[in-house]
Structure 1
Amino acid sequence: MNSPLSSDLLGPGVATPGVSHRPLSAEPDPAAAMTVFWDQGLPVGQSLTGSDGVTRRSPPPARRAPPRLPPAPPPVSVVICTRDRPEELRRCLASLPAQTLRPLEVIVVDNASAGDATRTAAQDAGVVYVREDRPGLDYARNTGAATARGEIVAYTDDDVLLHQNWLQNLVAAFDAPEVGAVTGLVLPAELATPAQLHFETYWSFARGYEPKDYTPEAFKAERRAFPAWDIGAGASMAFRRQVFATAGLFDERLDVGRAGCSGDSEFWHRLLAHGYVCRYEPSSVAFHYHRASDEGLARQLFSYMRGHSAALLVQFERTGRPGDLRRAFLSLPVRYGRRALRRSQPRDRFLDLEIRGYLSGLGFYLTGSRRT
């Protein structure tokens, strides 16, 4: 049994130091920080030796078949939002022709890049190019949704490589009309630096190897803040086109360029409130290049917490659920207070920036970013 990954899949000449992909029957690779195990083309578990030196193993789930496409799958638009990262964009676009499900169109949304390199990369790949001059990821996402012609709109990022079955398995998971959103498994493309290993240890995009449905019933029953952030990652997500008409577009106060992040999780939260199921489907695999430097990671974690705290208040504004307020003004301050008193764990290396980001998000919302 062989791993389905190859240098051809990951892109010509792309190395993946620190990550090993092995068949289920093999042992973890002692030379790699992370070993991902595969069984008949499906990722089924992992072994990760984190930045704290602790090895964490995920036991393989019961064997299952990947979701199956209907005989006539719905047309799909793939949207990639990007800004001033033409080489990363080229690398991502190079992984799309191998997809086992051919999209109706690939749309590159250029979010106010400074020069023409992004346009050139898109044109060289023969994809649709759209310019969005308002800086902010959710402006770009909404422009992509407005441009898309497919019944399913799938999003990925420019710093991602896509497994050949990524789109097929993402779309096949829309097997019932109540499923409004599907996310996929996002694995690290490399763990070559301490910053990348720290992120994968404590902030990983991966949500496990078992599929999971997040239902409106569970959403209504949860008295705390519903953990919409656990549903997946914006680097691999798809939506029925109709949900944008029903629930609205991404909240443009959130994400890169505005409040930091969490435009994706706020939208999943909103879909649950509108009665849709959000599904996590780990057979749809993407590989993300985490920030390689401490400086880049620090900016990212600040943005994550700034976006998260702002999103909690946006969610309360939209749904009136008190659990979001409790998390914003009680649970998170208590948690950060305890961590600040201890400061003995490796994960606390960026604690001050996390706290500053959390406070910045509250300030962003409370000083004029409420919806009018």
Structure 2
Amino acid sequence: MDKFVSVIIPVLNNIEGLCQTLSALDKQTYPSQLYEVIVVDNGSSQDLKSAIAQFDRARLSYEECPGSYIARNQGISIAKGEILAFTDSDCIPEPDWLANGVKCLSSVDNCGLVAGKINFFYQNPQRPTTVELYDRATFLNQKKYIEQYRYGATANMFTWKKVVEEVGYFNGELKSGGDKEWGQRVSRHGYILLYSSDTCIAHPARSSWQEISQKIARTRMGGYEVDRLSSQSKLLFYGRKLLTIIWRLKPPTKSALEKLKECDRSLTVIQKIKLLGAILAIHYQGAWVEIEMYFKNLKYIF
């Protein structure tokens, strides 16, 4: 376990969450002389410098251009480690997070990235909101991301710096979906992608409709841009998007049942009904975002 690791955290304000993350990183079982923590300020109005000063292992960098992926690229550009570990300013790594992530990344030859497990937690564990239940059932399923979509979310991801140097940095133009685009690029280069169930971080579930609405809009717009940039034909892209939009207009029966199965078995009937209503409402909100983007950008085909 002699690999030096650079932990990269983009942040926009959120001092309280960042301090929790940095505190957890100070308690890692990985040798303290073998890792650094790079916090990239992406335009915060809060005084991050004073907050970070209390953590000896953390250093602050800056990226003025808005976007978490271009901020991560700034962190990569100054990283000293041969291993890069990514997390977010609202995540709390387990004490053995670094040790297990490095071990998994080093366990097989030609490993391109490791996606670690993300455990959600609620503001009130005894009374999770409907939105919190939806967030947990819908997002950041790293095992599914690796096996079905060939990427890992940057809330909990490890890679080699040499992999980044070969396949390229994150696409800084993307505001969402950059981890998916980058992970799939790694996969196309022939690298192995692994899921690690014991490389864990805790992540707060979104608790309000505003938060989940912003998340849905951001992910749909990000997915739209990833597909657009990867398509070689504008006509083919818009044709496929139209079919996707039509398909999304049908009730999400199958995915709704899958989400209900993935939820806690202790949910009451009322909670399940509320969750089902949230699934339907958010599904059609996402479809509306795609419809708006489609017709807004349709002019670029001509």
For Structure 1 versus Structure 2, the TM-score category normalised by the shorter chain is 0.7 to 0.9
User: Does 1:89 pair with 2:18?
Assistant: yes
Aligned identity (percent) is 25
Count of residues paired in the alignment: 271
Paired residue for 2:38, among 102, 107, 112? Answer: 107
Which structure's relative contact order is higher, taking Cα pairs within 8 Å and 6+ residues apart? 2
CA contact (8 A) 2:115 2:146 kept: no
Please provide the CA RMSD for this pair. 3.0
Correspondence list, 1:90-169, <5 A: 90-102=19-31, 103-116=34-47, 118-126=48-56, 127-169=58-100
Q: Tell me, in whole angstroms, the C-alpha distance in 1 between the residues paired with 2:285 and 2:23.
A: 35
Q: Tell me, in whole angstroms, the C-alpha distance in 2 between the residues paired with 1:341 and 1:275.
A: 35
Q: Which residue of 2 aligns with 1:248?
A: 168
Question: Is there any run of 5+ residues in structure 2 with no aligned partner, and where?
Answer: 257-272
Q: Which residue of 1 aligns with 2:188?
A: 273
User: Does 1:290 pair with 2:222?
Assistant: no
Q: Which residue of 2 aligns with 1:358?
A: 290
Q: Tell me, in whole angstroms, the C-alpha distance in 2 between the residues paired with 1:130 and 1:110.
A: 6
Return closer, same or farther for 1:129/1:360 CA change in 2, 3 Å cut-off. Answer: farther
Q: CA shift at 1:367, angstroms?
A: 7.4
Return closer, same or farther for 1:324/1:130 CA change in 2, 3 Å cut-off. Answer: same
Paired residue for 2:247, among 306, 328, 335? Answer: 335
Q: Which residue of 1 aligns with 2:101?
A: 170
The code of the aligned residue for 2:245 comes to P
Return closer, same or farther for 1:356/1:253 CA change in 2, 3 Å cut-off. Answer: farther
CA contact (8 A) 2:245 2:290 kept: no
Q: CA shift at 1:291, angstroms?
A: 1.6
Equivalent position SS for 2:118: strand
Q: Tell me, in whole angstroms, the C-alpha distance in 1 between the residues paired with 2:205 and 2:299.
A: 32
Q: Which residue of 1 aligns with 2:139?
A: 204
The code of the aligned residue for 1:199 comes to D
Equivalent position SS for 1:88: helix
* Worse-superposed segment, 346-355 or 166-175: 346-355
Pick the structure with more helix per residue. 2
Query: TM-score of the superposition, structure 2-length normalised?
Result: 0.80
* Worse-superposed segment, 342-351 or 178-187: 342-351
Query: TM-score of the superposition, structure 1-length normalised?
Result: 0.66
